[in-house]
Structure 1
Amino acid sequence: MSRPVIPSPIRSLLFVPGNRRAMIEKSWTTGADALIFDLEDSVPDDAKDEARELVRAELHKASEPHPFLLVRINATRTSHWQADVQSVVGENLFGLLIPKCESFAALQELKQLLEEQERAAGMSAGSIRVFLLIETAKGLLAASRLAESSARIAGLAFGAEDFRLDMGLAPTPDGREVFYARSYLAIVARATECLAIDSVYTHFRDSEGLRRETQLAKELGYNAKLAVHPQQIPIIHEVFRPTEKEIDEARRVVEAFAKAEAAHTGVVSLDGKMIDKPIVDRARRLLILAESESR
């Protein structure tokens, strides 16, 4: 399945309550790669309509350059999600985040509604990306099938808090109770060519805890992390930023592969190690990220 390329790397995605005008206005200057205007958990039922109007207005007035703009709609098991989609689809919306995602049929219904709304807005079919928030055991087991359900699916995000709730798990200091689920979802994301997005770290004043958790996410194969507070953004970016050593090694890998291709050499090696296509692809992705950091 061929997925649309995300124009530039996404490392941080900041949740912003959709009914809090002051927080939305402040979010534009946080430096986050993506903003997620939230219509779900942070908005009480009696404020849903107000939040939709506020988010729609913010999306409409966005001017370039701006972060990637996403909206977390309400779960497809609720009566709110269709109105959410109908309210926010427009040219500045990059994608929708679908919470508690576990139903293939619901995604097909979402796909149909998105096509209708894109058509009504004069947008090309498939313009709006979809990001799946995996927060239940059922969703985790279905993650691969859900990710393959549409070329619109651009990312898989892990929701640790709701996953613990679904499984009846108590949080531990090192997060061991969700380690398997977290690792598995990163593997599914890579296998389905989706962005792997790690869960929020809710202790937003604990900078060292955030750093440790983000480093582990990077080591597990995640590309990005959800954030709940602006002060988390610099740390997330710092951890996902390639080091000079990593950049130098990636350049050497790409150069060695290019020389071998030019010489029609079947075997490529560097410093006594074999280099195959996955290693080269990884090096190229790292250099793209490094280049975006330098802009």
Structure 2
Amino acid sequence: MSERERPVRSLLFVPGNRESWMRKALGLDADALVFDLESATPSGRADEARSLVRGVLDTPRPERPLLFVRVRDARSAELEGDLEAVVCEGLSGVLLPQVIGPEDVRRLDQALGRREREAGLEPGRTLVMPLVETAQAARQAYEIALASPRIAYMGGGVSRNGDIARSLGYRWTPEGLETLFLRSKVLLDVRAAGVFNPISGLWGAVEDLEGLRAFAEQSRDLGYQGLMAIHPSHLDVIHQVFTPSGEEIDEWRRVIAELEAAEGEGRGAIRLDGRLIDHAHAETARRQLEWARKLGLI
């Protein structure tokens, strides 16, 4: 399975200037880690953080977790230095913050191509996850998602008093009604663009696991397949929410089996547990089972 086909239920952020935290995070049960060179790195310590991140990226590790780095935005003078430091065999991809439009992604795509050639890496191997943190990005999410074949993960993330809140002007509530349209709109855009794994987030209250669960369940029910996280204590809840249960897997198999039997008898639709189901339901069940296979559940 290539890195762009690996399911990501959890994407845990780790400050890029904390080497011990990054190395400890390698042993956590996260599907992906993000070593942060942007928001979580103190001003004036960029070179030190780059060196620390590169050291961790060069450490031999198992295939999981995927390792991403949040670099500076596409208009920053620091971006090239970030890429020079981190593009290597151990890097899965980069998160691009403060995206304004598709041109930002194309600029990063070209820069990554140059760095890959210089490092002797396979062209296009480094993935890109654009972060929707501006009103312009939310408005153009579909075009952004189509801007590079490197994009395998993307979604509508929200925060309390963060970049996207400042850009849109919403007032955060635990229920999330104020960001429901944003998350739904971006999800529609990334699905229409064919993005492999839509990811939302994040829940900023470290100790409020009940609130995290409610937010994760709402995101899952909208159609997202994973969530960004800021603390290791959130990983277990996120995985519980975004991992299909054994009962769900059995139900999907049952739907497929019952419809295949019905089709063998010349029937295109049947009643199952009081519900009318047909070919469309079987296709949905097959898609869900394929996701479960990618997660290693079957």
TM over 0.5: yes
The alpha carbon displacement at 1:159 in A equals 3.1
1:36 aligns with 2:42: no
The alpha carbon displacement at 1:233 in A equals 0.2
1:156 aligns with: 154
| TM-score, length-scaled by structure 1 | 0.90
Aligned residue type for 2:172 = P
Aligned residue type for 2:82 = D
1:273 aligns with 2:271: no
Aligned residue type for 2:30 = A
Partner of residue 9 from structure 2, selected from 8, 11, 14: 11
The alpha carbon displacement at 1:61 in A equals 1.1
The alpha carbon displacement at 1:264 in A equals 10
**Structure 2 Cα separation of the partners of residues 265 and 120 of structure 1:** 60
**Structure 2 Cα separation of the partners of residues 54 and 5 of structure 1:** 23
The alpha carbon displacement at 1:244 in A equals 2.9
Partner of residue 66 from structure 1, selected from 64, 67, 71: 64
Give 5+ residue unaligned stretches, structure 2: none
Identity of aligned residues (%): 36
* 2:72–2:78 contact (8 Å) kept in structure 1: yes
**Structure 2 Cα separation of the partners of residues 124 and 260 of structure 1:** 48
**Structure 2 Cα separation of the partners of residues 38 and 266 of structure 1:** 55
Give 5+ residue unaligned stretches, structure 1: none
2:20 aligns with: 22
- Alignment deviations for residues 234-281 of structure 1 (CA, whole Å, 9 cap, x no partner): 0000011212332122112333455577x596835462524335x444
- Alignment deviations for residues 164-190 of structure 1 (CA, whole Å, 9 cap, x no partner): 111222212312211110111121222
Partner of residue 235 from structure 1, selected from 231, 234, 237: 237
* 1:89–1:117 contact (8 Å) kept in structure 2: yes
**Structure 2 Cα separation of the partners of residues 251 and 87 of structure 1:** 47
**Structure 2 Cα separation of the partners of residues 264 and 118 of structure 1:** 55
**Structure 1 Cα separation of the partners of residues 265 and 113 of structure 2:** 46
2:186 aligns with: 185
- Alignment deviations for residues 91-147 of structure 1 (CA, whole Å, 9 cap, x no partner): 121111111212222222211111111112222211111111101111011100011
Q: Go from structure 1 to structure 2 and tell me whether the alpha carbon gap of 1:256 and 1:125 turns closer, same or farther (over 3 Å shift).
A: farther
Q: Go from structure 1 to structure 2 and tell me whether the alpha carbon gap of 1:245 and 1:168 turns closer, same or farther (over 3 Å shift).
A: same
Q: Go from structure 1 to structure 2 and tell me whether the alpha carbon gap of 1:126 and 1:14 turns closer, same or farther (over 3 Å shift).
A: same
Partner of residue 87 from structure 2, selected from 89, 98, 101: 89
**Structure 2 Cα separation of the partners of residues 65 and 72 of structure 1:** 20
Q: What is the Cα-based RMSD across aligned positions, in Å?
A: 2.2
Number of equivalenced pairs: 290
1:215 aligns with: 217
**Structure 2 Cα separation of the partners of residues 153 and 172 of structure 1:** 30
Q: Go from structure 1 to structure 2 and tell me whether the alpha carbon gap of 1:71 and 1:260 turns closer, same or farther (over 3 Å shift).
A: farther
1:142 aligns with 2:144: no
The alpha carbon displacement at 1:294 in A equals 3.6
2:249 aligns with: 247
The alpha carbon displacement at 1:16 in A equals 0.5
SS in 2 for 1:202: coil
Partner of residue 119 from structure 1, selected from 102, 117, 139: 117
**Structure 2 Cα separation of the partners of residues 190 and 63 of structure 1:** 31
Partner of residue 47 from structure 1, selected from 33, 41, 45: 45
Q: Which moved more, 1:242-251 or 1:23-32?
A: 242-251
Q: Go from structure 1 to structure 2 and tell me whether the alpha carbon gap of 1:105 and 1:248 turns closer, same or farther (over 3 Å shift).
A: same
**Structure 2 Cα separation of the partners of residues 260 and 121 of structure 1:** 56
Q: Go from structure 1 to structure 2 and tell me whether the alpha carbon gap of 1:82 and 1:209 turns closer, same or farther (over 3 Å shift).
A: same
* 2:71–2:97 contact (8 Å) kept in structure 1: yes
| TM-score, length-scaled by structure 2 | 0.89
Partner of residue 290 from structure 1, selected from 275, 289, 292: 292
Aligned residue type for 1:122 = G
* 1:187–1:221 contact (8 Å) kept in structure 2: no
**Structure 1 Cα separation of the partners of residues 150 and 101 of structure 2:** 16
